[in-house]
Amino acid sequence: MVRTDSCLARVGAGVAIGGAVGGAVGAVYGTYEAIRYKVPGLLKIRYIGQTTVGSAAIFGLFLGAGSLIHCGKSY
């Protein structure tokens, strides 16, 4: 069991929150782009999925890295 104040728990929470926010933003942006560029048929689903996963991964990576950097600081 991981303590709630441990660095690993904070980084994990950062990755999870970043992934959730990135996924939401990616889904909205992917939908907008698919409609804007008139992506045909079922390729819309693939395009939106790729945008969602890519955005979630990037947001999660950066928020997790930020949490890791912030982990060593005490105020």
Give residue 5's pLDDT: 74
Please report, in tens digits, the pLDDT of each residue of the chain (75 residues total): 556 578 999 999 999 999 999 999 999 999 999 999 999 999 999 999 999 999 999 999 999 999 999 987 766
Pick the closest to residue 15 from 52, 61, 58, 54 (CA basis). Answer: 61
Contact between residue 9 and residue 2 where contact means Cβ atoms under 8 Å apart:
yes
Q: For the whole model, what pTM was predicted?
A: 0.85
Give residue 74's pLDDT: 65
